[in-house]
Structure 1
C-alpha cells in the first residue's frame, strides 16, 4: 500500500472496484501454515485456502479503512500502466514490476479454488488490521 496516497485520501488498485474478494491478515496466513505444519498427520504437500472473515469490494474496503483509521479514503481504479509507473517509482526492477502487474491481471477474475468454509475462514477483520497497522501510519 502507498501510505502517501492513503494520506491524500485515495486507495488505488488495478482491480475491479465492485468485485468482492477475500481480505486476509498476513498473521492469519502464518497461523494457518503453522497449524498445518504442527498437525500430527501432516506429510508431503497440502493446500489450504484462507479467505479472511469477509469478501469485500474496494468501495467497502475504502469505507472500512476510513472508519478504522479516522482518515477518509476513496477507492480509485488505476490502469496496469499506472501500476507499472508506481512500482517503478518505488524502485522495483523491471522483472519485479512485471511480476506484480501479471499477478494483478491474473487475480482480476479469479475464482478461489477452495470455497469459503469454517476451515478456510480466518478471524481477523480488515477493520481490526487497519486500526492496528494503518491508523498509526496515517496519524503520523
Structure 2
C-alpha cells in the first residue's frame, strides 16, 4: 500500500487543483431534467433534490475518501476513527449551512460568498499539500530504494 499511497495522493491533489477533470457526457442535462421533474413535488421533491445535489458533489468527496482517507486509515490501523471523523467533518458544514439557511436568506448569501472564497483557497492549498506529501511518499517508497549510496 505504501507504493500506491504517493501516486494516489498526487492524483487526488491534481483533481483538487483541477489539473485533471472527469467530464461525463450528458450528466448536466440529466440533472437539469431531474430537477425540473422534482421541483414541484414539495417536501419529497426537496429531499430528492437534496440527494441530487449531494450526488453532484460526490466525485470530489469520493476521491478524497477512497483515494486518500481509506489508505491512511488502513496504514494507521484506524478502521473506524478516521472515516468517522471524516464523516462528521464533511457533515458539519452541511449542518452549519442549514442553520444559516434557517436564520436568513440574505445572511446566507453573504456567508456563502465567504465560504466560496475560503473553499477556493482551501481546495488549492489542500491539493498542493496532497501533491507534496504524495511526492514525498513516492520518493521515499518508490524511488529511494534505487538510489545507491557510495
TM-score (norm 2): 0.31
Larger Rg: 2
More helix by share: 2
Higher relative contact order (CA 8 A, sep 6+): 2
Higher strand fraction (1 or 2) = 1
Tell me the TM-score normalized by structure 1: 0.32
